[in-house]
A and B are shown apart, each in its own frame.
Chain A
Amino acid sequence: MSRIKSPSHAWPPANSSAPPAAARPSLPQRASYVQILVYLAFCLLILAVPLVIDDAFLLNKYARYLALGLAAAALSLSWGYSGILNLGQGVSFGLGAYAIAMHLKLKTSPVHTGAAGLPDFMVWNNVQTLPWFWEPFHSTLFAILAGMLLPVIVASLLGWFMFRARIVGVYVAIITLAMLVVTNLLFIDQQRYTGGFNGLTDLAWLEIGGVEFDPYSPTFYYLTAGCLSVCLLLGLALTRSKAGLILRAIRNDVDRVRFFGYDVAAYQILAFAVSAGMAGVAGMLYAMVLEFASPTFMGVPLSLSMVIWAAVGGRGSLLGATIGAILVNFMQGSLSETFLDTWQLILGALFILVVLFLPNGLASLIDMAGERLGRAPPRARTEEPAAAAPRAMGTFNTKQRG
Chain B
Amino acid sequence: MAYLELHDLEVSFDGFKAVNGLSMAVERGELRCLLGANGAGKSTTMDLICGRTQPTGGRIVLDGADITHEPEYVRARRGVGRKFQVPSVFKELTVRENLEVARSHRPTPWKTMRLFPSARLDERTQKVIEIVGLEDVLGTKAAYLSHGQTQWLELAMLLVQNSALILMDEPTAGMTIQETRKTSEIFNRLRGQHTVIVVEHDMGFVREIAETITVMHQGKLLSEGSIAHVESDPKVMEAYLGSGGISHA
Complex CA–CA separation, A330 to B100 (angstroms): 41
Given contacts A259-B82, A260-B76, contact A7 B193 (CB under 8 A): yes
Greatest chain B CB density within 10 A among A15, A25, A249, A253 is at A249
On whether the beta carbons of B115 and A242 are closer than 8 Å, the reply is yes
CB-contact partner of A246 in B101, B127, B212, under 8 A: B101
**A6 interface hit (Cβ, 8 Å):** yes
On whether the beta carbons of B211 and A22 are closer than 8 Å, the reply is no
Greatest chain A CB density within 10 A among B43, B73, B88, B128 is at B73
**A9 interface hit (Cβ, 8 Å):** yes
> Could you say which of A217-225, A264-272, A275-283 contacts chain B?
A264-272
On whether the beta carbons of B100 and A399 are closer than 8 Å, the reply is no
User: Closest CB-CB distance, B44 to chain A, in whole Å?
Assistant: 5
> Could you say which of A26-34, A42-50, A168-176, A197-205 contacts chain B?
A26-34
Interface residues on B, range: 35 or more
| Residues of B contacting A260 in the complex (Cβ-Cβ under 8 angstroms) | 73, 76, 81, 101-102, 104, 107, 157, 161
Interface residues on A, range: 35 or more
Given contacts A1-B225, A402-B41, contact A7 B192 (CB under 8 A): yes
CB-contact partner of B122 in A21, A258, A259, under 8 A: A21
Complex CA–CA separation, A266 to B44 (angstroms): 27
User: Closest CB-CB distance, B159 to chain A, in whole Å?
Assistant: 7
**A196 interface hit (Cβ, 8 Å):** no
Given contacts A7-B192, A26-B138, contact A18 B126 (CB under 8 A): yes
Complex CA–CA separation, A90 to B116 (angstroms): 32
User: Closest CB-CB distance, A402 to chain B, in whole Å?
Assistant: 3
| Residues of A contacting B115 in the complex (Cβ-Cβ under 8 angstroms) | 241-243
On whether the beta carbons of A4 and B76 are closer than 8 Å, the reply is no
Given contacts A2-B211, A12-B131, A400-B43, contact A26 B107 (CB under 8 A): no
Given contacts A2-B30, A9-B192, A29-B119, contact A245 B73 (CB under 8 A): no
| Residues of B contacting A2 in the complex (Cβ-Cβ under 8 angstroms) | 26-27, 30, 32, 211-212
| Residues of A contacting B119 in the complex (Cβ-Cβ under 8 angstroms) | 22, 24-26, 29
On whether the beta carbons of A12 and B93 are closer than 8 Å, the reply is no
On whether the beta carbons of B192 and A21 are closer than 8 Å, the reply is no
On whether the beta carbons of A23 and B120 are closer than 8 Å, the reply is yes
User: Closest CB-CB distance, A135 to chain B, in whole Å?
Assistant: 34
Interface residues of A in 220-246 (CB under 8 A from B): 238, 240-243, 245-246
Given contacts A9-B192, A243-B109, A402-B38, contact A380 B43 (CB under 8 A): no
On whether the beta carbons of A402 and B126 are closer than 8 Å, the reply is no
Complex CA–CA separation, A21 to B116 (angstroms): 17
Given contacts A2-B27, A243-B113, contact A402 B199 (CB under 8 A): yes
CB-contact partner of A241 in B43, B47, B113, under 8 A: B113
| Residues of B contacting A400 in the complex (Cβ-Cβ under 8 angstroms) | 43, 84-86, 169
Complex CA–CA separation, A402 to B190 (angstroms): 24
User: Closest CB-CB distance, A380 to chain B, in whole Å?
Assistant: 4
Least CB separation from A269: chain B residue: B109
| Residues of A contacting B85 in the complex (Cβ-Cβ under 8 angstroms) | 400, 402
| Residues of B contacting A248 in the complex (Cβ-Cβ under 8 angstroms) | 90, 92-93, 97
| Residues of A contacting B77 in the complex (Cβ-Cβ under 8 angstroms) | 261
Task: List 30 interface pairs A-B (beta carbons < 8 Å), by A numbering.
Answer: A7-B193, A8-B192, A10-B193, A11-B194, A12-B124, A12-B127, A18-B126, A21-B123, A22-B120, A22-B138, A26-B138, A240-B116, A241-B112, A241-B115, A246-B109, A251-B92, A256-B84, A256-B89, A257-B101, A258-B72, A259-B50, A259-B72, A259-B76, A259-B82, A261-B107, A266-B108, A380-B93, A400-B86, A401-B47, A402-B40
Q: A4-B29, A19-B126, A245-B93 are in contact. List 19 more A-B contacts (CB 8 A).
A: A1-B224, A4-B30, A15-B127, A242-B116, A245-B101, A245-B117, A252-B90, A253-B91, A255-B52, A258-B76, A260-B81, A260-B102, A380-B141, A399-B47, A399-B52, A400-B169, A401-B41, A401-B43, A402-B41
